[in-house]
Structure 1
Protein backbone atom coordinates (compact mmCIF):
# COMPACT_ATOMS: atom_id res chain seq x y z
CA UNK A 1 0.00 0.00 0.00
CA UNK A 2 2.86 2.36 0.86
CA UNK A 3 4.48 1.75 -2.53
CA UNK A 4 1.21 2.41 -4.32
CA UNK A 5 0.80 5.76 -2.50
CA UNK A 6 4.38 6.78 -3.40
CA UNK A 7 3.82 5.86 -7.05
CA UNK A 8 0.52 7.78 -7.14
CA UNK A 9 2.17 10.82 -5.55
CA UNK A 10 4.99 10.73 -8.12
CA UNK A 11 2.52 10.43 -10.99
CA UNK A 12 0.39 13.26 -9.61
CA UNK A 13 3.43 15.53 -9.22
CA UNK A 14 4.62 14.72 -12.73
CA UNK A 15 1.14 15.47 -14.05
CA UNK A 16 1.05 18.85 -12.34
CA UNK A 17 4.40 19.84 -13.85
CA UNK A 18 3.48 18.47 -17.28
CA UNK A 19 0.21 20.42 -17.33
CA UNK A 20 1.94 23.68 -16.43
CA UNK A 21 5.00 23.43 -18.69
CA UNK A 22 4.94 25.60 -21.83
CA UNK A 23 7.36 26.57 -24.57
CA UNK A 24 6.76 29.23 -27.16
CA UNK A 25 7.77 32.25 -29.19
CA UNK A 26 7.37 35.94 -28.41
CA UNK A 27 7.97 39.36 -29.92
CA UNK A 28 6.92 42.96 -29.71
CA UNK A 29 7.90 46.56 -29.20
CA UNK A 30 10.08 48.26 -26.63
CA UNK A 31 10.15 51.98 -25.87
CA UNK A 32 13.05 53.45 -23.98
CA UNK A 33 16.58 54.75 -24.07
CA UNK A 34 20.07 53.96 -22.97
CA UNK A 35 21.60 55.92 -20.11
CA UNK A 36 22.94 59.42 -19.80
CA UNK A 37 26.21 60.72 -21.23
CA UNK A 38 29.23 60.66 -18.93
CA UNK A 39 31.26 63.91 -19.00
CA UNK A 40 28.34 65.74 -20.58
CA UNK A 41 30.18 69.09 -20.60
CA UNK A 42 32.98 67.55 -22.71
CA UNK A 43 30.39 66.27 -25.17
CA UNK A 44 28.77 69.72 -25.45
CA UNK A 45 32.10 71.29 -26.42
CA UNK A 46 32.23 69.32 -29.69
CA UNK A 47 28.48 68.78 -30.16
CA UNK A 48 26.49 71.85 -29.02
CA UNK A 49 23.21 70.18 -30.03
CA UNK A 50 23.80 67.09 -27.90
CA UNK A 51 21.20 66.11 -25.31
CA UNK A 52 20.84 63.29 -22.83
CA UNK A 53 19.05 60.33 -24.38
CA UNK A 54 15.55 60.71 -25.82
CA UNK A 55 13.38 57.60 -25.85
CA UNK A 56 12.61 55.86 -29.15
CA UNK A 57 10.77 52.70 -30.16
CA UNK A 58 12.59 49.43 -30.86
CA UNK A 59 11.65 45.80 -31.18
CA UNK A 60 12.41 42.35 -29.79
CA UNK A 61 11.73 38.69 -30.54
CA UNK A 62 12.71 35.36 -29.03
CA UNK A 63 11.65 32.20 -27.24
CA UNK A 64 10.42 31.40 -23.74
CA UNK A 65 9.62 28.54 -21.40
CA UNK A 66 7.22 28.50 -18.48
CA UNK A 67 7.50 25.96 -15.65
CA UNK A 68 4.89 26.13 -12.94
CA UNK A 69 3.22 24.42 -10.08
CA UNK A 70 -0.02 25.59 -8.54
CA UNK A 71 -0.20 29.36 -9.12
CA UNK A 72 3.59 29.97 -9.18
CA UNK A 73 5.89 29.74 -12.19
CA UNK A 74 9.44 30.34 -13.41
CA UNK A 75 9.80 31.85 -16.88
CA UNK A 76 13.23 31.93 -18.55
CA UNK A 77 13.50 33.67 -21.93
CA UNK A 78 16.06 34.19 -24.68
CA UNK A 79 15.35 37.43 -26.56
CA UNK A 80 17.05 39.54 -29.22
CA UNK A 81 16.47 43.29 -28.64
CA UNK A 82 17.12 46.28 -30.92
CA UNK A 83 17.09 49.73 -29.30
CA UNK A 84 17.96 53.20 -30.61
CA UNK A 85 18.45 56.32 -28.49
CA UNK A 86 18.37 59.86 -29.87
CA UNK A 87 21.08 62.10 -28.37
CA UNK A 88 20.28 65.09 -30.59
CA UNK A 89 23.58 65.25 -32.48
CA UNK A 90 23.54 61.51 -33.24
CA UNK A 91 21.69 58.25 -32.64
CA UNK A 92 23.11 55.37 -30.60
CA UNK A 93 22.11 51.90 -31.83
CA UNK A 94 22.26 48.93 -29.48
CA UNK A 95 21.70 45.25 -30.30
CA UNK A 96 21.65 42.79 -27.42
CA UNK A 97 20.68 39.33 -26.29
CA UNK A 98 18.57 39.30 -23.13
CA UNK A 99 18.10 36.37 -20.77
CA UNK A 100 15.38 37.28 -18.24
CA UNK A 101 14.77 34.74 -15.48
CA UNK A 102 11.41 35.70 -13.99
CA UNK A 103 9.48 34.40 -11.01
CA UNK A 104 5.72 34.90 -11.35
CA UNK A 105 2.39 34.21 -9.73
CA UNK A 106 -1.12 33.99 -11.16
CA UNK A 107 -3.17 36.46 -9.14
CA UNK A 108 -6.64 36.68 -10.69
CA UNK A 109 -7.91 34.42 -13.47
CA UNK A 110 -5.65 34.90 -16.51
CA UNK A 111 -3.73 37.81 -14.91
CA UNK A 112 -0.22 37.31 -13.54
CA UNK A 113 2.66 39.37 -12.20
CA UNK A 114 6.36 38.58 -12.58
CA UNK A 115 9.78 39.95 -11.73
CA UNK A 116 13.41 38.88 -11.76
CA UNK A 117 16.93 39.50 -13.04
CA UNK A 118 17.65 40.11 -16.71
CA UNK A 119 21.09 39.22 -18.07
CA UNK A 120 22.20 41.34 -21.02
CA UNK A 121 24.87 40.51 -23.61
CA UNK A 122 25.62 43.29 -26.11
CA UNK A 123 26.28 42.08 -29.65
CA UNK A 124 26.63 45.48 -31.34
CA UNK A 125 26.74 49.16 -30.39
CA UNK A 126 27.35 51.94 -32.88
CA UNK A 127 26.82 55.61 -33.62
CA UNK A 128 24.47 56.59 -36.44
CA UNK A 129 24.41 60.06 -38.07
CA UNK A 130 27.54 60.99 -36.12
CA UNK A 131 31.13 61.93 -37.00
CA UNK A 132 32.87 59.58 -34.54
CA UNK A 133 33.05 55.97 -33.48
CA UNK A 134 32.18 54.45 -30.14
CA UNK A 135 34.24 51.82 -28.31
CA UNK A 136 33.03 48.46 -27.11
CA UNK A 137 31.19 48.57 -23.80
CA UNK A 138 33.11 48.06 -20.56
CA UNK A 139 31.32 44.77 -19.76
CA UNK A 140 29.87 42.45 -22.39
CA UNK A 141 27.58 40.85 -19.81
CA UNK A 142 25.59 42.84 -17.22
CA UNK A 143 22.59 42.22 -14.97
CA UNK A 144 19.48 44.36 -14.73
CA UNK A 145 15.91 43.62 -13.72
CA UNK A 146 12.46 43.29 -15.24
CA UNK A 147 9.06 43.52 -13.58
CA UNK A 148 5.57 43.56 -15.00
CA UNK A 149 2.23 41.92 -15.56
CA UNK A 150 0.80 39.53 -18.11
CA UNK A 151 -2.51 38.24 -19.40
CA UNK A 152 -2.88 34.70 -20.72
CA UNK A 153 -5.74 34.00 -23.14
CA UNK A 154 -5.36 30.34 -24.05
CA UNK A 155 -2.13 29.95 -26.01
CA UNK A 156 -1.85 33.70 -26.55
CA UNK A 157 -0.16 35.95 -23.99
CA UNK A 158 0.14 39.72 -23.61
CA UNK A 159 2.88 41.11 -21.42
CA UNK A 160 3.86 44.61 -20.22
CA UNK A 161 7.15 45.09 -18.35
CA UNK A 162 9.65 47.67 -17.22
CA UNK A 163 13.38 46.96 -17.53
CA UNK A 164 15.95 48.83 -15.47
CA UNK A 165 19.64 48.62 -14.62
CA UNK A 166 21.58 48.00 -11.44
CA UNK A 167 24.83 49.54 -12.74
CA UNK A 168 26.15 51.60 -15.67
CA UNK A 169 27.94 49.96 -18.59
CA UNK A 170 29.74 52.68 -20.56
CA UNK A 171 31.02 52.80 -24.13
CA UNK A 172 33.45 55.67 -24.81
CA UNK A 173 34.03 57.98 -27.75
CA UNK A 174 37.14 56.88 -29.61
CA UNK A 175 40.12 58.96 -30.72
CA UNK A 176 39.21 62.28 -29.17
CA UNK A 177 40.71 64.61 -26.60
CA UNK A 178 37.28 65.29 -25.09
CA UNK A 179 36.46 61.75 -24.16
CA UNK A 180 32.87 61.15 -23.13
CA UNK A 181 30.90 57.96 -22.74
CA UNK A 182 27.38 56.63 -23.19
CA UNK A 183 25.81 54.31 -20.64
CA UNK A 184 24.58 51.35 -22.71
CA UNK A 185 22.30 49.86 -20.04
CA UNK A 186 18.72 50.74 -21.06
CA UNK A 187 15.64 51.68 -19.13
CA UNK A 188 12.65 50.73 -21.23
CA UNK A 189 9.04 49.63 -21.39
CA UNK A 190 8.44 46.30 -23.11
CA UNK A 191 5.20 45.21 -24.77
CA UNK A 192 5.16 41.59 -25.94
CA UNK A 193 2.84 39.11 -27.58
CA UNK A 194 3.60 35.44 -26.98
CA UNK A 195 2.34 32.19 -28.43
CA UNK A 196 2.66 28.89 -26.56
CA UNK A 197 3.38 26.06 -28.99
Structure 2
Protein backbone atom coordinates (compact mmCIF):
# COMPACT_ATOMS: atom_id res chain seq x y z
CA UNK A 1 0.00 0.00 0.00
CA UNK A 2 1.40 3.40 -1.00
CA UNK A 3 1.13 5.90 1.83
CA UNK A 4 -0.39 9.16 0.64
CA UNK A 5 0.70 12.64 1.61
CA UNK A 6 -2.85 13.36 2.70
CA UNK A 7 -2.90 10.45 5.16
CA UNK A 8 0.27 11.78 6.80
CA UNK A 9 -1.04 15.34 6.96
CA UNK A 10 -2.34 15.23 10.54
CA UNK A 11 0.72 13.65 12.21
CA UNK A 12 3.10 15.88 10.25
CA UNK A 13 1.10 18.95 11.21
CA UNK A 14 1.23 17.88 14.86
CA UNK A 15 4.96 17.29 14.55
CA UNK A 16 5.55 20.78 13.19
CA UNK A 17 3.38 22.24 15.93
CA UNK A 18 5.25 20.37 18.66
CA UNK A 19 8.73 21.02 17.34
CA UNK A 20 7.93 24.57 16.31
CA UNK A 21 7.73 25.57 19.95
CA UNK A 22 11.43 24.96 20.37
CA UNK A 23 12.19 28.42 19.02
CA UNK A 24 11.16 29.81 22.44
CA UNK A 25 14.47 31.12 23.85
CA UNK A 26 13.65 30.92 27.58
CA UNK A 27 16.25 28.56 29.11
CA UNK A 28 16.10 26.42 25.94
CA UNK A 29 18.30 23.34 25.69
CA UNK A 30 18.86 20.57 23.16
CA UNK A 31 19.86 17.05 24.09
CA UNK A 32 20.29 13.43 23.11
CA UNK A 33 18.16 10.60 24.50
CA UNK A 34 18.55 6.82 24.45
CA UNK A 35 17.15 3.84 26.33
CA UNK A 36 15.41 0.48 26.36
CA UNK A 37 11.71 -0.23 25.86
CA UNK A 38 9.87 -3.28 27.19
CA UNK A 39 6.85 -3.80 24.95
CA UNK A 40 3.46 -4.98 26.17
CA UNK A 41 1.65 -4.65 22.83
CA UNK A 42 -0.68 -7.58 22.19
CA UNK A 43 -0.83 -10.16 19.42
CA UNK A 44 -2.69 -9.78 16.13
CA UNK A 45 -5.85 -11.88 16.34
CA UNK A 46 -8.56 -12.82 13.84
CA UNK A 47 -12.35 -12.87 14.18
CA UNK A 48 -12.27 -16.39 15.68
CA UNK A 49 -9.99 -15.19 18.47
CA UNK A 50 -6.98 -17.08 17.12
CA UNK A 51 -3.55 -15.45 16.87
CA UNK A 52 -2.41 -14.60 13.33
CA UNK A 53 0.87 -13.05 14.53
CA UNK A 54 2.53 -13.04 17.96
CA UNK A 55 4.97 -10.44 19.29
CA UNK A 56 7.98 -12.64 20.08
CA UNK A 57 10.80 -10.12 20.64
CA UNK A 58 9.41 -7.55 23.05
CA UNK A 59 12.56 -5.79 24.27
CA UNK A 60 13.70 -2.98 22.01
CA UNK A 61 15.67 0.24 22.09
CA UNK A 62 15.22 3.90 21.19
CA UNK A 63 17.36 6.98 20.57
CA UNK A 64 16.99 10.49 19.24
CA UNK A 65 16.92 14.21 19.96
CA UNK A 66 15.07 16.07 22.71
CA UNK A 67 14.43 19.80 23.18
CA UNK A 68 13.51 21.53 26.42
CA UNK A 69 12.38 24.99 27.41
CA UNK A 70 10.23 26.72 30.02
CA UNK A 71 10.42 27.88 33.62
CA UNK A 72 12.21 26.39 36.60
CA UNK A 73 9.02 24.58 37.72
CA UNK A 74 7.37 23.65 34.41
CA UNK A 75 9.20 22.72 31.22
CA UNK A 76 8.09 21.44 27.80
CA UNK A 77 10.16 18.74 26.12
CA UNK A 78 9.30 17.84 22.52
CA UNK A 79 11.49 15.35 20.70
CA UNK A 80 11.94 13.03 17.77
CA UNK A 81 13.19 9.47 18.31
CA UNK A 82 13.62 6.19 16.49
CA UNK A 83 12.26 3.15 18.36
CA UNK A 84 12.69 -0.53 17.63
CA UNK A 85 9.47 -2.19 18.82
CA UNK A 86 10.03 -5.89 18.19
CA UNK A 87 9.37 -8.87 15.93
CA UNK A 88 6.03 -10.48 15.03
CA UNK A 89 5.95 -14.21 14.18
CA UNK A 90 3.24 -15.15 11.71
CA UNK A 91 1.13 -18.17 12.71
CA UNK A 92 1.16 -21.17 10.32
CA UNK A 93 -2.65 -20.91 10.32
CA UNK A 94 -2.40 -17.46 8.73
CA UNK A 95 -1.27 -18.91 5.40
CA UNK A 96 1.19 -16.79 3.39
CA UNK A 97 3.32 -19.83 2.48
CA UNK A 98 5.32 -17.87 -0.11
CA UNK A 99 6.36 -15.09 2.31
CA UNK A 100 8.64 -14.71 5.27
CA UNK A 101 7.03 -15.62 8.58
CA UNK A 102 8.53 -12.77 10.60
CA UNK A 103 8.33 -9.00 10.43
CA UNK A 104 9.90 -6.25 12.48
CA UNK A 105 8.06 -3.12 13.59
CA UNK A 106 9.84 0.18 14.18
CA UNK A 107 8.51 3.65 14.94
CA UNK A 108 9.44 7.30 14.53
CA UNK A 109 8.16 8.90 17.74
CA UNK A 110 7.27 12.57 18.21
CA UNK A 111 6.50 13.09 21.92
CA UNK A 112 5.57 16.28 23.75
CA UNK A 113 6.27 15.94 27.48
CA UNK A 114 5.23 18.43 30.14
CA UNK A 115 7.78 18.09 32.95
CA UNK A 116 6.99 19.41 36.45
CA UNK A 117 9.57 19.70 39.24
CA UNK A 118 8.31 17.65 42.20
CA UNK A 119 10.66 18.85 44.98
CA UNK A 120 12.86 21.98 45.23
CA UNK A 121 16.14 20.14 45.85
CA UNK A 122 19.32 21.92 44.57
CA UNK A 123 21.27 20.14 41.80
CA UNK A 124 19.07 17.00 42.04
CA UNK A 125 15.54 17.84 40.90
CA UNK A 126 12.94 15.02 40.98
CA UNK A 127 10.18 15.51 38.42
CA UNK A 128 7.07 13.93 37.01
CA UNK A 129 6.00 14.15 33.39
CA UNK A 130 3.08 13.42 31.08
CA UNK A 131 2.09 14.16 27.52
CA UNK A 132 0.89 12.92 24.12
CA UNK A 133 2.96 11.22 21.44
CA UNK A 134 2.45 10.79 17.69
CA UNK A 135 4.01 7.61 16.30
CA UNK A 136 4.76 6.81 12.66
CA UNK A 137 5.02 2.97 12.62
CA UNK A 138 6.79 1.07 9.84
CA UNK A 139 7.41 -2.49 8.73
CA UNK A 140 9.48 -3.62 5.76
CA UNK A 141 9.39 -6.14 2.93
CA UNK A 142 6.31 -8.36 2.57
CA UNK A 143 4.73 -6.58 5.55
CA UNK A 144 5.19 -2.99 4.37
CA UNK A 145 1.42 -2.36 4.45
CA UNK A 146 0.78 -4.09 7.80
CA UNK A 147 1.07 -0.90 9.86
CA UNK A 148 -1.07 2.22 9.88
CA UNK A 149 0.31 5.57 8.75
CA UNK A 150 0.24 6.96 12.29
CA UNK A 151 -0.83 6.19 15.83
CA UNK A 152 -1.50 8.25 18.95
CA UNK A 153 -0.34 7.39 22.48
CA UNK A 154 0.01 8.96 25.92
CA UNK A 155 3.08 8.96 28.19
CA UNK A 156 3.52 9.28 31.96
CA UNK A 157 6.74 8.99 33.93
CA UNK A 158 9.14 10.26 36.56
CA UNK A 159 12.83 11.02 36.74
CA UNK A 160 15.67 13.12 38.09
CA UNK A 161 17.35 16.16 36.55
CA UNK A 162 20.97 16.27 37.72
CA UNK A 163 22.89 19.50 37.04
CA UNK A 164 26.56 18.95 36.21
CA UNK A 165 28.07 22.27 35.17
CA UNK A 166 26.01 23.37 32.12
CA UNK A 167 24.81 19.83 31.37
CA UNK A 168 21.63 18.24 32.73
CA UNK A 169 21.58 14.46 33.07
CA UNK A 170 18.02 13.07 33.21
CA UNK A 171 17.50 9.37 34.01
CA UNK A 172 13.80 8.48 33.93
CA UNK A 173 11.23 5.71 33.67
CA UNK A 174 8.19 6.02 31.42
CA UNK A 175 4.98 4.18 30.61
CA UNK A 176 3.34 4.51 27.20
CA UNK A 177 -0.33 3.62 26.69
CA UNK A 178 -1.83 3.44 23.22
CA UNK A 179 -4.89 5.50 22.29
CA UNK A 180 -5.24 4.20 18.70
CA UNK A 181 -4.26 0.98 16.89
CA UNK A 182 -1.09 0.70 14.83
CA UNK A 183 -1.84 -2.42 12.72
CA UNK A 184 -3.85 -1.99 9.51
CA UNK A 185 -7.43 -3.25 9.26
CA UNK A 186 -6.35 -5.44 6.34
CA UNK A 187 -2.98 -6.29 4.82
CA UNK A 188 -1.64 -8.81 2.33
CA UNK A 189 1.33 -11.09 2.96
CA UNK A 190 2.37 -13.09 -0.09
CA UNK A 191 -0.91 -14.43 -1.49
CA UNK A 192 -2.76 -14.28 1.84
CA UNK A 193 -4.94 -11.38 3.09
CA UNK A 194 -5.06 -10.93 6.86
CA UNK A 195 -7.94 -9.06 8.49
CA UNK A 196 -7.16 -8.50 12.17
CA UNK A 197 -10.19 -8.38 14.44
CA UNK A 198 -8.11 -7.42 17.47
CA UNK A 199 -5.46 -4.89 16.47
CA UNK A 200 -2.93 -4.01 19.20
CA UNK A 201 -2.10 -0.58 20.55
CA UNK A 202 1.38 0.50 21.59
CA UNK A 203 2.01 -0.23 25.26
CA UNK A 204 5.45 -0.26 26.87
CA UNK A 205 7.58 0.52 29.88
CA UNK A 206 10.88 2.24 29.10
CA UNK A 207 14.03 3.41 30.83
CA UNK A 208 15.65 6.47 29.25
CA UNK A 209 18.73 8.62 29.80
CA UNK A 210 18.83 12.15 28.38
CA UNK A 211 21.74 14.60 28.27
CA UNK A 212 20.67 18.25 27.90
CA UNK A 213 23.28 20.78 26.77
Please classify the TM superposition score into its range, dividing by the shorter chain length: 0.7 to 0.9
The TM-score, its normalising length taken from structure 1, stands at 0.73
Q: C-alpha distance in 2, partners of 1:88/1:94?
A: 13
Is this contact kept in 1: 2:150–2:182, CA < 8 A? no
The TM-score, its normalising length taken from structure 2, stands at 0.68
2:178 corresponding residue in structure 1: 165
Change (3 A) 1:42 1:103: closer
**Is residue 101 of structure 1 aligned with residue 103 of structure 2?**
no
2:133 corresponding residue in structure 1: 118
Task: Determine which structure has more spread, i.e. the larger CA radius of gyration.
Answer: 1
**Is residue 196 of structure 1 aligned with residue 212 of structure 2?**
yes
The CA RMSD over aligned residues, in Å, is 2.7
1:149 corresponding residue in structure 2: 158
Three-state SS of the structure 2 residue aligned to 1:191 is strand
Q: C-alpha distance in 1, partners of 2:155/2:77?
A: 12
1:13 corresponding residue in structure 2: none
* Runs of 5+ consecutive residues of structure 2 not aligned to the other structure: 1-24, 92-100
Q: C-alpha distance in 1, partners of 2:69/2:204?
A: 26
Is this contact kept in 1: 2:139–2:147, CA < 8 A? no
Deviation at 1:176, TM superposition (A): 1.6
* Runs of 5+ consecutive residues of structure 1 not aligned to the other structure: 1-16, 128-132
